[in-house]
């Protein structure tokens, strides 16, 4: 509760006393004027100022309250109401002064400060709203800062990751430029290495472009209702050949067909391509990649699973971070950038869903959950 300062308390009391004195004088004046009126014009006396009377009712003598007394009582009641009204008004004014000075304090940049007291009545709404406003301002400032920080990190990581292939491209092309080769064959070999590195850079830049597009909302997602089962069939079919090359079997287990889900089709296609291509690339010793769907209430869970060597528990926690690659994959000649799963996560977030991973001896399973219908205000117009 709000505590008044000593000064406010004493000025409140002083005001009370002054009001009482003023009202007392006013009452006296009214009584005197009426008295004078009566004395000067007795005809006007309509029983108004009848002096106190006594009436005998049986053995009891009752005092009849005269009009004068009624008037005095009425005036006292009015005095009390006026006094109360003035005190309450003044008290509210002090409350408002306190709120305003708190506001000034917050406005001076003390955003960690909240109005610490509560009051009764409408002013409490003001306090609650101000505190909520400061809260939400602080929150959005924090979010803004996070985004800034994540952009900075992204630039640092990208420059670092782009420099590695670029350095080797420059190195090999430099050898050719300075005629530091022994045979025609070596020129072709150097050019080939440079070409592969350039391809790697291109795929990284493409990934990055894709990632920033999703992450920083460059485009408004256009949701349409599609048959998810058919979409996943297509993804699975497109990997048949590659899987066969690795001696891996593509399997599907779909809950229902058709399964209508509101999605951005090419983005969701991208999600499952990323997951399946990871399974094929990194599923060491795996024999199958299985895509399955389960419908639960108003959402669908889609799993992409492969057997083989599990991912260590430590790595599992970082898989969705940008640029994260499990150490054993780094050494492989797969040439990934570590953005694939970060893209997956961003896309699923724009679909108001979530994605997780579980890895043990039996299988590594990525589970994507998305709602069958997008919230109303998200739909394409
Ligand atoms: P990109 O997809 O951008 O070309 P990437 O495949 O290395 O590069 P992600 O798709 O984000 O990046 O995957 C991150 C890392 O997670 C991979 O490098 C790999 O180490 C590990 N990983 C992902 N999926 C699997 C899987 N099914 N089995 C084992 N490891 C996996
Ligand atoms: Mg990948």
pLDDT over 70, % of the chain? 89
Reported as a pLDDT band with limits 50, 70 and 90, residue 378 is: low
Q: Is the dihedral of CA 26, 32, 34, 36 positive or negative?
A: negative
Q: Which of 313, 338, 366 to mutate to test the pocket of ligand 1 (most atoms within 8 A of CB)?
A: 338
Ligand at minimal distance from the CA of 283 is 1
Contact predicate 268/351, CB 8 Å: yes
Task: Give 290 Cα–ligand 1 centroid separation in angstroms.
Answer: 17
The whole-angstrom distance between residue 5's C-alpha and the CA centroid of its chain comes to 39
User: Going by CA atoms, what residue is nearest to atom 23 of ligand 1?
Assistant: 278
What are the pocket residues of ligand 1 if the criterion is a CB atom closer than 6 Å to any ligand atom?
Answer: 207, 274, 278-279, 282-283, 306, 311, 319, 324-326, 329, 336-342, 364
Half-sphere exposure of 289 (CA within 13 A, CB side): 31
Task: Give 148 Cα–ligand 1 centroid separation in angstroms.
Answer: 26
Q: Is the dihedral of CA 268, 272, 275, 281 positive or negative?
A: negative
User: Going by CA atoms, what residue is nearest to atom 27 of ligand 1?
Assistant: 279
Contact predicate 177/191, CB 8 Å: no
Model confidence over 199-226: pLDDT tens digits?
A: 888 888 888 888 887 777 666 788 999 9
Asked if pLDDT for residue 50 goes beyond 60, the answer is: no
Which tokens in the block code for residue 335?
Answer: 């040439």
Q: What integer best gives the mean pLDDT of the chain?
A: 87
H helical segments located in 216-264: 228-246
196, 212, 184, 227: which is closest to 339 by C-alpha?
A: 212
**pLDDT, position 163:** 85
Ligand at minimal distance from the CA of 323 is 1
Contact predicate 375/262, CB 8 Å: no
**pLDDT, position 176:** 93
Q: Domains plus CATH for the chain?
A: 6-50+65-120 (no CATH), 148-215 (1.10.287.130), 224-378 (3.30.565.10)
Q: What is the DSSP letter of 337?
A: -
Asked if pLDDT for residue 284 goes beyond 80, the answer is: yes
Of residues 51 and 2, the one with the higher pLDDT is: 2
Q: Give the whole-angstrom CA distance, residue 207 versus residue 342.
A: 10
Reported as a pLDDT band with limits 50, 70 and 90, residue 19 is: very high
Task: Give 273 Cα–ligand 2 centroid separation in angstroms.
Answer: 9
Q: Is the dihedral of CA 290, 293, 294, 296 positive or negative?
A: positive
Tokens 């009425």 belong to residue: 74
Ligand at minimal distance from the CA of 366 is 1
Q: Give the whole-angstrom CA distance, residue 173 versus residue 198.
A: 11
Element (H, E) at 314: helix 313-316
Task: Give 342 Cα–ligand 2 centroid separation in angstroms.
Answer: 9
Of residues 207 and 245, the one with the higher pLDDT is: 245
Task: Give 160 Cα–ligand 1 centroid separation in angstroms.
Answer: 19
pTM of the model: 0.63
Of residues 66 and 53, the one with the higher pLDDT is: 66
């Amino acid at each position: 509760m709000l505590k008044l300062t000593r000064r406010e308390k004493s000025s409140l009391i002083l005001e009370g006393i002054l009001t009482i004195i003023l009202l007392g004088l006013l009452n006296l004046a009214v009584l005197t004027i009426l008295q004078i009126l009566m004395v000067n014009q007795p005809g006007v006396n309509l029983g108004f100022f009848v002096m106190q009377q006594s009436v005998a009712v049986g053995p009891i003598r009752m005092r009849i309250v005269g009009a004068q007394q009624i008037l005095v009582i009425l005036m006292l009641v009015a005095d009390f109401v006026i006094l109360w009204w003035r005190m309450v008004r003044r008290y509210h004014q002090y409350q408002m002064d306190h709120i305003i000075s708190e506001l000034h304090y917050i406005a001076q940049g003390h955003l960690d400060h909240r109005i610490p007291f509560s009051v009764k009545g409408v002013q409490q709404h003001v306090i609650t709203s101000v505190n909520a406003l400061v809260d939400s301002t602080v929150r959005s400032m924090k979010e803004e800062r996070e985004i800034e920080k994540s952009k900075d990190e992204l630039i640092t990581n990208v420059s670092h990751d782009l420099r590695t292939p670029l350095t080797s491209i420059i190195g090999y092309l430099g050898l050719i430029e300075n005629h530091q080769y022994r045979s025609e064959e070596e020129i072709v070999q150097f050019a080939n290495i440079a070409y592969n590195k350039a391809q790697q850079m291109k795929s990284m830049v493409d990934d990055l472009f894709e990632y920033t597009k999703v992450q920083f909302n460059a485009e408004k997602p256009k949701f349409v209702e599609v048959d998810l089962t058919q979409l996943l069939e297509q993804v699975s079919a497109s990997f048949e050949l590659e899987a066969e090359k690795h001696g891996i079997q593509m399997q599907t287990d779909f809950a229902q067909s058709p399964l209508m889900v509101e999605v951005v089709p090419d983005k969701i296609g991208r999600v499952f391509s990323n997951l399946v291509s990871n399974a094929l690339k990194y599923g060491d010793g795996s024999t199958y990649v299985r895509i399955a769907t389960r419908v639960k209430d108003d959402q669908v869970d889609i799993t992409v699973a492969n057997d083989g060597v599990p991912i260590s528990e430590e790595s599992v926690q970082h898989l969705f971070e940008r640029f994260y690659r499990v150490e054993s994959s780094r050494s492989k000649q797969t040439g990934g950038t570590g953005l694939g799963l970060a893209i997956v996560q961003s896309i699923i977030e724009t679909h108001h869903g979530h994605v997780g991973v579980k890895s043990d001896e039996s299988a590594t399973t990525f589970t994507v959950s998305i709602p069958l219908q997008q919230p109303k205000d998200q739909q394409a117009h």
